Amino acid sequence: MSPALKRLMTGTLIASLSIASIAPAAYAGHGWGQAKKYRRFERVAYCPTPVRVVERVHTSNGAPALAGFIGGLAVGAIIASQTPVVVASPPPVCVEPAYYYEDAYCGARYSSLDSYLCRTGPHPYHPRIVRVVSVRTGECVQVVRYIDGRWYDWDEG
């Protein structure tokens, strides 16, 4: 049902109830002329409707509270008695890097090519040429250059 139709139905219902409660009751009795139209000899008596009273009496002792307290203690004791699970894992193995990367212009050392790119930024002051140096021997193994988002072998000639 659309919201507009619901609003229309609600408005119509409220309007009809308000008109029915405000408008005087139609006098459908017999009468003459402009007088009130009910039977002259009819007696109208108003009797109030009886009121129904329901009384509920709750009696309670401390048994439910005591049971809840004891149950809470039991659950707490069960949870507290659990032994912690210990997971034994071997210590991390630190592998010494085989290479480090040295800037060909300033001689700064980096642990990876990505760290070199992060350090130099998007607009370096010199071309991005890096020497790949062996940690064990200290000799230059390769020279690479970063061009257009990729690393290429670079011969210094």
On whether residue 120 sits in a domain, the answer given is yes
Residue 55 lies in a domain: no
Q: Is residue 145 part of a domain?
A: yes
* Predicted confidence (pLDDT) at residue 31 exceeds the cutoff of 60: no
Residue scoring higher pLDDT (50 or 144) = 144
Report pLDDT digits (tens) over 105-135: 888 899 889 888 888 877 777 888 899 999 8
At 27 the pLDDT is 47
**Is 106 a domain residue?**
yes
* Residue 36 forms part of a structural domain: no
Calculate ∠ Cα 124-103-108, nearest 5°.
Answer: 100
The model's confidence at residue 94, banded by pLDDT at 50, 70 and 90, is confident
Report which secondary-structure segment, H or E, holds 20.
Answer: helix 3-22
Report residue 144's pLDDT band, with 50, 70 and 90 as the boundaries.
very high
Give the whole-angstrom CA distance, residue 125 versus residue 22.
89
Q: Is residue 57 part of a domain?
A: no
Question: Per-residue pLDDT for 91 more than 90?
Answer: no
Number of structural domains, the chain? Answer: 1
